[in-house]
Structure 1
Amino acid sequence: MRAIIIMLALGVLSACTQSPTGRNQVLLFSEHDMQRLGEQSFADIKEQEKISRHAGLNRLVQCVTRQLVAEVPGNGQWEVVLFDSKQINAFALPGGKVGVYSGLLKVADTQDQLAAVIGHEIAHVLAQHSNERVSRTQLTNIGLNAAGVALGQSGMREPAMAALGLGVQVGYLLPYGREQEAEADRLGLQLMARAGFDPQQAITLWRNMAAAGSGSQPPEILSTHPSHGTRIEGLSGLLPEANNLYMQARARGVQPACNY
C-alpha cells in the first residue's frame, strides 16, 4: 500500500502544471490523446447533427472564428461547422474543432457577440479544461495506473466524452466547473479583444441570453454556464483589461468585418 501511495503521488506531481492564468492543474493525458478524442467526437457529432448549408451564416461563423484563432499562438488549422439546429449553443474541442448551432445567431446578433461565445469556447481548449476534467475523473474513480489506458477503449467512453463537455449521447453538452468557466471568461474576453472584437459586447450578449431565457425553455447554453447575472458581474470586472487589449488591436489596424 505504501508503494502504491508513493507511486500515485509521484505520478500526480509529474502531471502538475499551471493554466494560462496561473491556476494549478493536473493533466494526465497527452496533447495527442486529447486531440484524437476531440477529432473522434467531432466526427460523431457531424454524423448525428444536420449541417447548415446557409452560405451567409457559414461565412459569418467562419470569419469570426478565423479572426479569433489568428490570435492563438501556433493556431494551426481549425475546423468550423455550423449545425442547423434551434439550440442556442456552441462548443470547441481539442484538435481545433468548433461547432456552432444556428440558433445561437438569433441571440448573438453581431459579430462581436458571436466572438464572445466562440472565444469563450476556444478558451476552454487553450486552458486544457477537457484534459483537466478527465484527469480528475481518472484520479477519483479509477486511479493513476489507469491513466495510461488509451482514451476511447471499452469502459472509457463515458468519462472521455464528459471530459469534452459532451454526454455519451453525442451533442449533449455538460457543464464545466465554476473555476474553469471563470477562467474561460477571462481568456475568452482577452482573445476576442486581441482579435479586434468589442469586449463590451460580451455584456450585451449575456443580457440577450437573459432575455431569451425568460420563457419556458431557456437557451441550452444557460444550463451549462453560471447564471447570466453572475456571468455579467464577472465580465464587467474584466472589462478594463480587455478594453486595453481592444484599443491596442484597433491601433494595430485589426478591424474585423464579418457579416452575412
Structure 2
Amino acid sequence: MRGGSGKIRLFIGLAIVAFAVLKYCSSAETNNFTGETQYVDLSTDQEIAMGLSAAPSMIAEYGGLHPDQNAQAQLDRVGKKLVNSSIGRNTDYQYDFHLLADDRTINAFALPGGQCFITAALYSQLENEDQLAGVMGHEIGHVIARHSAERMSQQGLAQGVITGVSVGTDGGGEAAASIAQMLTMKYGRDDELQSDDLGVKMMIDAGYDPYEMIGVMEILKNAAGPNRAPEFQSTHPDPENRVERIKEAIRKYGK
C-alpha cells in the first residue's frame, strides 16, 4: 500500500509541476520595446491598476510624501523629460513620480504600470540633476521591461515546482525552494543590469550626461558599506560590476 501511495503522490506531484510549466510557457510574448521574449500573464491595464492600487501603501511605508514642492517639481520635470524623449512615450503606462519623506533609507523603486519612487535619503545624496535622471531612468526601465510582471510569472512557476516536488517526494520541497530562490536572484540581477542599460539610453536621448550614473553607483556602494553581501547572494549586482556594464552601455549608444 505504501508503495502504491508513493506512486500516486509522485504522479500528482509531476502533474502539478507540468501544469505550472505549461502555464508559464503559454504566457510567452515579445516585449515591443526591448525585443525580448518574456513570460508575462498580466495585461498592461492590469499592471497599471496594480501599481495604482499599491502606491498609497508604499507611500505610507516610507513616511508619506516629502513636503518640498520644489524638489517634487524637479522630479516630475526630469521624469517626464525622460519618458517623452525615449521609448517610454510609446508605451501605454501611466507614469507618476513620487518623492518619499523617508530621509534614512537610500532607495528608489518602481511599481508595475509606471509608479516610480525615490526616497529623500537618496535624493539628498545626489549631486546634480543628471544623477537624478540616472536613478529615474533606471526605474522607468524596470517599467518598460515589465520586470515586475515577469517576476510574478517566475514566482508562480517556482511555487508550482516547489508544490509539486513537495507533494511528489519526501523532503524534496526544501531543495526545490533553494533552487527557486537562486533562480529568482539571478533574474533580479539581470533585471537590474537591463534597467541600467535602458536608463543610459534614456539619459542620452533626453540630453543628460550618462557618466553621472557612475556617480550614482558610488553613492549606492558607500550606502551599502563594507559588509555588503556577495553578489551571488543578492538580488542586485555589486555596484562595481554595474559600473563596467554602464560604461559598456555608454559606448554602445555612442556617447
* TM-score normalised by structure 1 residue count: 0.70
Residues 16-165 of structure 1 mapped to structure 2, 5 A cutoff = 16-19=28-31, 20-48=33-61, 49-70=63-84, 71=86, 72=88, 73-74=90-91, 77-86=94-103, 87-142=105-160
Higher Rg? 2
After the TM superposition, which parts of structure 1 deviate over 3 Å for at least 4 consecutive aligned residues?
Answer: 1-14, 18-24, 74-77, 211-218
Equivalent residues of 2:20, 2:160 under 8 A apart: no
Q: Does 1:235 align with 2:246?
A: yes
Equivalent residues of 1:199, 1:243 under 8 A apart: no
User: Per the alignment, in what secondary structure is the counterpart of residue 177 of structure 1?
Assistant: helix
Equivalent residues of 1:83, 1:100 under 8 A apart: yes
CA separation in 1, counterparts of 2:122 and 2:156? 33
Q: Which runs of 5+ in 2 are unaligned?
A: 1-10, 162-184
Aligned Cα RMSD in Å?
A: 3.0
Q: 1:124 to 1:194 in 2, by over 3 A?
A: same
**Counterpart of 2:202?**
191
**Counterpart of 2:190?**
179
Q: 1:3 to 1:59 in 2, by over 3 A?
A: closer
Answer 1 or 2: which has greater helix percent. 2
User: Per the alignment, in what secondary structure is the counterpart of residue 253 of structure 2?
Assistant: helix
CA separation in 2, counterparts of 1:224 and 1:84? 25
Q: 1:13 to 1:50 in 2, by over 3 A?
A: closer
Number of equivalent positions? 210
CA separation in 2, counterparts of 1:136 and 1:113? 32
Q: 1:228 to 1:7 in 2, by over 3 A?
A: closer
CA separation in 2, counterparts of 1:137 and 1:216? 29
Tell me by how many angstroms 1:238 deviates: 1.2
Tell me by how many angstroms 1:186 deviates: 0.9
Q: Does 1:14 align with 2:32?
A: no
User: Per the alignment, in what secondary structure is the counterpart of residue 88 of structure 1?
Assistant: coil
Tell me by how many angstroms 1:33 deviates: 2.3
Q: Deviations over 1:226-247 (max 9, x none)?
A: 1111111111111113344xxx
CA separation in 1, counterparts of 2:69 and 2:126? 18
CA separation in 1, counterparts of 2:186 and 2:246? 19
Instruction: State which drifts further: 123-132 or 68-77.
Output: 68-77
User: Per the alignment, in what secondary structure is the counterpart of residue 106 of structure 2?
Assistant: coil
CA separation in 2, counterparts of 1:79 and 1:101? 14
Tell me by how many angstroms 1:126 deviates: 0.5
* Alignment-mate amino acid for residue 150 of structure 2: E
* TM-score normalised by structure 2 residue count: 0.71
Instruction: State which drifts further: 113-122 or 93-102.
Output: 93-102
Equivalent residues of 1:34, 1:95 under 8 A apart: yes
Q: Which runs of 5+ in 1 are unaligned?
A: 144-173, 245-260
Residues 219-230 of structure 1 mapped to structure 2, 5 A cutoff = 225-230=236-241
**Counterpart of 1:157?**
none
* Alignment-mate amino acid for residue 24 of structure 1: T
Equivalent residues of 2:20, 2:156 under 8 A apart: no
